[in-house]
Amino acid sequence: MVIEQKEPGISAPDEVLLRILDVGICGTDWEICTFEYGTPPPGDDYLVIGHEALAEVVATGSAVERLQPGDLVVPSVRRPCPHPGCLACRSGHQDYCYTGDFTERGIKEAHGYMTEYVVEQERYLNLVPPGLRESAVLTEPLTVAEKALAQVSWMMRQRPPWLDPATPGEERGRGLSAVVLGVGPVGLLGAMVMASAGFTTWVYSRELPPSPRIDLVTAIGATYVSSQATTFADLAEQVGNIDLIYEAAGHSHFALEALRWLGTNGIFVLTGVPGVQAFREADPARLMRQMVLNNQILLGTVNAGPTAFASALHNLELFSQTWPATVRSLIAGRYPPESAPELILGRPSGVKSVVAF
Ligand code: BGC
């Protein structure tokens, strides 16, 4: 539903008035709009959605130092909880909030960015190079993979494959395999991150060819395998030891099945936030035995802090140079705000739909 709101204004010295340019639509918006997820701010009976935004600075408060009118910025999503004892939020790492009382713009108890103007504190804004005007709306979903890879790389230094800390970024995954589950935006961006870090990358999802999404996988040098044509067992045989599984399908049954095929010393990263899904029986003893005897890691990760935003912006520039056509075609189209309900609730066409103001 489109509503009229009062135009916001700067009321504190560290605030920035932004004009929203692009807002990406994602699965979380669908969950919010089908009332499975999301909460309005206290006292409001509606939530302005939108959390993947690109905006232009219109005006700055007197204490703002890094930004000036005309700059492009991408805001982060999470805001800290108020509890003095929350080690994560008090140190600027609200993506690791202990209390659960954080807010998320456009998702949890704070209005989002699908509106013409917003006010935001400078510290939550990431400066975007002007050359990324067309693609920077992909920054926020890309931070999911950036944060995951940063954690994976750190672990790979402390345990097998004992990655040398001096290894250049593009060689971190050399000789290792990564299987990405899901071919939506988070999956595709995840595949780009893994492939550009040197992993031999596979993408496994339901979709059958021909499909533009599968073409994107191939264009970045990864291999696509459809779960409708190939079982996990056959996939695992093709890949060999699966060093990394990056789950981006949000499907709990698929994820649980994939976990069985994780390789020795492998890391399994979960990024999906599934809604209610059918109950499924599992064999926890077998899983436990497998995970213990193979030193496996199961890592859940939610985006994202300033470092992940910085590396997402860095990688977007790199991807735009390495795979220009692919980056362009990740954006399915730009549509007026009135189309948002249809874009969110209808069947997704292409990869990332963007509402442009
Ligand atoms: C957003 C994250 C958010 C998560 C959980 C994702 O779609 O990108 O910023 O933390 O949903 O609400």
Q: CA 270 to CA 168: how far, in whole Å?
A: 25
The structure's pTM equals 0.96
Which pLDDT belongs to residue 69?
98
Q: What is the strand order of the sheet 103-105 is part of?
A: 78-79, 103-105, 109-110
Nearest protein Cα to ligand 1, atom 12:
107
Q: What is the strand order of the sheet 297-300 is part of?
A: 223-226, 200-205, 177-181, 244-247, 267-270, 297-300
Mutating to test ligand 1, I would choose from 101, 139, 302 the residue with most ligand atoms within 8 A of its C-beta, which is 302
Nearest protein Cα to ligand 1, atom 1:
303
225 in helix, strand or coil?
strand
Phi, psi torsion values for 333, nearest 5 degrees: 170, 165
Establish whether residue 95 lines the binding site of ligand 1, counting it when its CB lies within 6 angstroms of any ligand atom: no
Mutating to test ligand 1, I would choose from 28, 74, 78, 95 the residue with most ligand atoms within 8 A of its C-beta, which is 28
Which pLDDT belongs to residue 114?
97
Mutating to test ligand 1, I would choose from 39, 137, 247, 303 the residue with most ligand atoms within 8 A of its C-beta, which is 303
Establish whether residue 302 lines the binding site of ligand 1, counting it when its CB lies within 6 angstroms of any ligand atom: yes
* Ligand 1, atom nearest to 28 Cα: 7
Mutating to test ligand 1, I would choose from 49, 107, 109, 147 the residue with most ligand atoms within 8 A of its C-beta, which is 107
308 in helix, strand or coil?
helix
Establish whether residue 28 lines the binding site of ligand 1, counting it when its CB lies within 6 angstroms of any ligand atom: yes
Show pLDDT as tens, one digit a residue, over the chain (357 residues): 889 999 999 999 999 999 999 999 999 999 999 999 999 999 999 999 999 999 999 999 999 999 999 999 999 999 999 999 999 999 999 999 999 999 999 999 999 999 999 999 999 999 999 999 999 999 999 999 999 999 999 999 999 999 999 999 999 999 999 999 999 999 999 999 999 999 999 999 999 999 999 999 999 999 999 999 999 999 999 999 999 999 999 999 999 999 999 999 999 999 998 888 889 888 999 999 999 999 999 999 998 999 999 999 999 999 999 999 999 999 989 999 999 999 999 876 678 999 999
Which pLDDT belongs to residue 277?
85
Establish whether residue 26 lines the binding site of ligand 1, counting it when its CB lies within 6 angstroms of any ligand atom: yes
Triad 186, 187, 189: Cα angle to 5°? 65
Establish whether residue 216 lines the binding site of ligand 1, counting it when its CB lies within 6 angstroms of any ligand atom: no
Phi, psi torsion values for 6, nearest 5 degrees: -70, 140
Q: CA 334 to CA 343: how far, in whole Å?
A: 10
Establish whether residue 51 lines the binding site of ligand 1, counting it when its CB lies within 6 angstroms of any ligand atom: yes
Q: CA 306 to CA 97: how far, in whole Å?
A: 15
Q: Please give the distance, rounded to the nearest whole angstrom, from the Cα atom of residue 141 to the centre of ligand 1.
A: 9
Q: Tell me which DSSP letter residue 241 carries.
A: S
Nearest protein Cα to ligand 1, atom 4:
302
Establish whether residue 107 lines the binding site of ligand 1, counting it when its CB lies within 6 angstroms of any ligand atom: yes
Nearest protein Cα to ligand 1, atom 7:
28
Establish whether residue 49 lines the binding site of ligand 1, counting it when its CB lies within 6 angstroms of any ligand atom: no
Q: CA 304 to CA 224: how far, in whole Å?
A: 28
Q: Please give the distance, rounded to the nearest whole angstrom, from the Cα atom of residue 264 to the centre of ligand 1.
A: 30
Mutating to test ligand 1, I would choose from 26, 31, 33, 77 the residue with most ligand atoms within 8 A of its C-beta, which is 77
Establish whether residue 31 lines the binding site of ligand 1, counting it when its CB lies within 6 angstroms of any ligand atom: no
The amino acid sitting at 147 is K
Q: Please give the distance, rounded to the nearest whole angstrom, from the Cα atom of residue 209 to the centre of ligand 1.
A: 30
Query: What are the CA-CA distances from residue 52 to residues 49, 153, 325 (Å)?
Result: 10, 26, 21
* Ligand 1, atom nearest to 38 Cα: 12
